Structure formats: C-alpha cells, structure tokens
Structure 1
Amino acid sequence: MRHTLVLTGSLLAFAIAAPAGARGAAEVVAFPTMVKVVVDERGQPTDIEASPRLPQGLRDFVEARARDLAFEPAVIEGRPLGGVTYVVFGVCAVPAAGDQMHLAAEYRSHGPGLADGSAYPAPPRYPVEAARRGLSASMTVNYTVQPDGSASLDSVEFADSTRERNRAPFERMAREWVAGMQALPEQVDGRAITTRVSTPVTLEVANTGSRKAREMLKNMQDSRTGSAECVAAEQGQAGGQIVTAQSAFAIRDAG
C-alpha cells in the first residue's frame, strides 16, 4: 500500500517548525525521523511508535507508512523469532495547490536506534589538528552497538583519496565519536542484542562564504530535495532506496 498525505494550515506550520534543520529548499520541507517497530515471528510489524516530537497528524501518517514494511524474522536455532528494531524514514513535504502540501515518507534504514530519539548520530567534531592543516577525509566508520546501549569502534575504512599519513586525527575522532554514542539496542525475543553498523562520514574544510562552502551547501540542499521521499511527494507516490545495518531483521519489503 502506498501513502501520500495533503497538509494544510496549522499542521503544515508544525511540520516546518518542529524538526531542526528540516528545510531543504525555500518551498520544500525534508527531514529524517525514527520509528520504533515491534516485529512478530512472521516479520510483520505489530506495534509502531513514531517520534513524540512530531505533531499527531504526522505521527499517524509515518506510523501508517511503517505498517507497510515487512521483515525477515530473526532465526535462532532454527526458530523464527520476533523482536524490536528502529526504522529511519525520510519525510518530505512538497507544495501543491493553494496552501496544501503533498507529504511522503520513505524507508531509509533500520537497526539500533538512538537514545535521544534522533534519526542519526550528531556529526563528529572536526579534529582541530586536521582543520588547522586543511585536511579533508572520506571514510566509513564501522562500530558495534552493545546490548547495554553503548557502542564500540570496530574499524575505520578510508577512501583512497584520504592519504594514509593524514588519517591519524580522523581515526581518533572516530573512536571518540563512537564512544560517546548512546543507543537503543535491537531486541530478539525480549533480549537486547549486538548489531554492527556502518556509517559513511565525509569531512571537508571550507571557509564561510567561499565558493566551496556555497557549493557544499547547494549539494546538501539538492540531495534533500532530490531524495526518494521528495520525488515521491512531488509525484504523489512512493518508492525508496534500501540501506540497512546488519540487523537481525532483514528487510523483505520496504513498502
């Protein structure tokens, strides 16, 4: 089942004001949101809880969208088991006729959640040494969320464009970043489990107001307004790109 929603009036005002940094362009509202999903032994969502930060109308819409998901259940000793996972949706509202907005919510990923309710971890702090030297880096940070909600760094995989002699400050940054995370672990059959997660991180130095800074800002805005959820809202339909952590519950159908 595919969902779109038309927003008007005060609900639209809440949608624009509530999520920090939501605006991808002057007329488009785009932001990610986390949803807690309880999955049964068939892989079907049975209990869904969207972020309380959203106004009720948006919560209802996102929760309805989450009910379209289907997972493969966790399997332990040959037995299919249910549990809890956390799904990130990208949400986008695009202007329609009059003061209306078309809204779409698209599956982005699932796995452990964050204790503060955010969809994604706060960005790591740029290493002072690297910033002073004008160093940039592109990497994938691999870490494991433990049953107690802490996270431990597994490895940092750098892109070939990041010179080996420049990697040390970024490795320290990644270790500190992961150590500071407070997660909501996935659960299988009522027990918290470990889950491996991989997060791409790109850090670039650009002076405020410079051409490079303007290009980076434009690319960020374009990536939001060109996302699957914004295209879906524009066309009044759904679609999506599947990205997952190494969850115990593999996604079978993203709706």
Structure 2
Amino acid sequence: MKSLAIALALAVALPVAAKDKPFERPVQVRVDVSAEGRVVAADAVGDLPESLARIAEAAVKDVEFEPAQVNGQPASSRTTLDVKMRFTPESDDSVSAEALAIEASKPMFHPPRYPMRAAQRGYGARVVMKMQLTADGRVDVERSGLHDISLWHGGRKLERSQAHRDEFVAEVMKVMEHWRPVIEEVDGAPVSTVWRVPVTFCPPGRARLCDQIKADATQSASRTADTDGIRLASLKAPVGGASGS
C-alpha cells in the first residue's frame, strides 16, 4: 500500500494531533464486489480531502472476498470496509498518510451511559447485543436485544452472579436505536441484517480490570443476512498494509 505526502492544509479536516505527532484513524470505503469476490469499484465515505480519499480507495483495490450468494449461487454485492490510516507530520510542514490495515466495517454507535451503581461498586461488563437492521438502515428495537453478557468484579469474571446485569443491558437498549451500522446490498438490492455488537463497560479507575475484560473478549462485531437464501460477502482475511512514499 502506498502513502502520499499531503499538504498541511489537510489538517483542518483531521484531528489537531496531526500537527504534532503521528496518529491513526479509520476511513470507511464503500466497495462494489463482483460475483468472483473482486473489488470493482471503491468510494471513500464522508467529507474527506481528495488526497485522503484516493489513498483509502487505492488501499482496497486488491482486497479479496468470499462473494455473496443468493440461493447458493455467487452474486455481486456492496459492502463497507474500514481502512486504518496513519498520519505522520513531516519536516517540510506536510503530513504523510498511509493505509495500515483493512477490515470489515463496524457499526457507528453512541456509547451508552455507565450505570451509576455499577460504576460506584466497581462492576464491569462485556455486553453483546443482537441488533436487527432493516433493509433501509433502521434499527428494529423491538426485535433487538441481549445476545450474551459477562459480568466482572474484583479482578475476575463472575460465572453465576447477575449483579447489575439488567442495568447494563437497559443502558445499551436506550441508545441502540441511534446506532448506524452498514447497509449491505446483494444482487443490487439492500438486505436486512442481524448484527452482533459487543459493548465493553470498563469501571472508572480500574485499568487492570478493564484490560482483563478486553483480553477475555472473543467476539467482535459481525453481521449475517436476515433473508433466507442470502449470504453476505465477507473478507477472506483481515488485510495488513505495507507503507511507501
């Protein structure tokens, strides 16, 4: 993957940290995938400087997919990828950008409020929600709910305790309808999907417990079609990138 020098004026659209030290951020790229699993078109999402969009779009051109299927037959599709970008200030007052890695896009969501009693008592949680997304991109709250939860306290996972369980779940449910996952398309039509979305609650001031909760996590965000006979396109593997100038 290539990196290009970008004028420092680019920093007005990026975090101020770009002027001082390297930083990273994801850029979403919407891709059209052929029935053979190849990327045939790419379009960076959002109001991005042209130079940045060009780097992100170029980074995904050789990504390979397991193609979508309709009733067992390969089909074209459209999905979204997250391109992890690193920005580095240069001595000539420019900023270089490079694509580091590519993975399936994750939902964008408002973080839930931490339950006050749970925070005061040092409880943490890893909550995995089942989120039902309609074909037009709306969260169907009535069909969404808890998929799995693990509770933590005192440096260990609680195998039987249900302490504050309902409070954690209730706070996630309050904000779920405002989440914005990716709309998937297969064979030219949008598809309703079911997402599994993990949310980690790290107790304030308990960094060690937070590390334990994150280390124990085995499930990342995932999605499947909610329509019989349809399988969504999927990356063959997360993609790492090499940098250049």
Same fold flag (TM > 0.5): yes
Distance 1:153 1:24 in 2: 39
SS for the counterpart of 1:164 is coil
Does the CA contact (< 8 Å) of 1:195 and 1:245 recur in 2? no
TM-score (norm 1): 0.69
Q: Which residue of 2 aligns with 1:143?
A: 131
Cα offset, 1:250, TM superposition = 1.5
Cα offset, 1:25, TM superposition = 10
Does the CA contact (< 8 Å) of 2:110 and 2:178 recur in 1? no
Distance 1:58 1:173 in 2: 36
Is 2:56 the partner of 1:72?
Answer: no
Letter in 2 for 1:204: C
Percent identity at matched positions?
24
Is 2:98 the partner of 1:99?
Answer: no
Distance 1:197 1:128 in 2: 27
Q: Which residue of 2 aligns with 1:232?
A: none
Is 2:173 the partner of 1:181?
Answer: no
Task: Give RMSD over aligned pairs.
Answer: 3.1
Cα offset, 1:205, TM superposition = 4.1
Tell me the alpha carbon deviations over residues 144-170 of structure 1, each in whole angstroms, 9 at most, x when there is no partner: 322231233351322553652121110
Is 2:222 the partner of 1:245?
Answer: yes
Q: Which residue of 1 aligns with 2:188?
A: 190
Q: Which residue of 1 aligns with 2:27?
A: 33
Distance 1:24 1:134 in 2: 35
Letter in 2 for 1:94: T
Does the CA contact (< 8 Å) of 2:137 and 2:180 recur in 1? yes
Structure with the largest fraction of helix: 1
Q: Which residue of 2 aligns with 1:158?
A: 150
Which runs of 5 or more structure 1 residues have no equivalent in the other structure?
115-119, 207-211, 220-242
Q: Which residue of 2 aligns with 1:234?
A: none
Cα offset, 1:127, TM superposition = 3.1
Letter in 2 for 1:69: V
Does the CA contact (< 8 Å) of 1:156 and 1:171 recur in 2? no
Does the CA contact (< 8 Å) of 2:110 and 2:179 recur in 1? no
Q: 1:74 to 1:32 in 2, by over 3 A?
A: same
Letter in 1 for 2:200: T
Q: 1:25 to 1:154 in 2, by over 3 A?
A: farther
SS for the counterpart of 1:165 is coil
Q: Which residue of 2 aligns with 1:229?
A: none
TM-score (norm 2): 0.71
Cα offset, 1:50, TM superposition = 0.6
**Which of 65, 79, 85 is matched with 1:85 structurally?**
79
Is 2:11 the partner of 1:4?
Answer: no
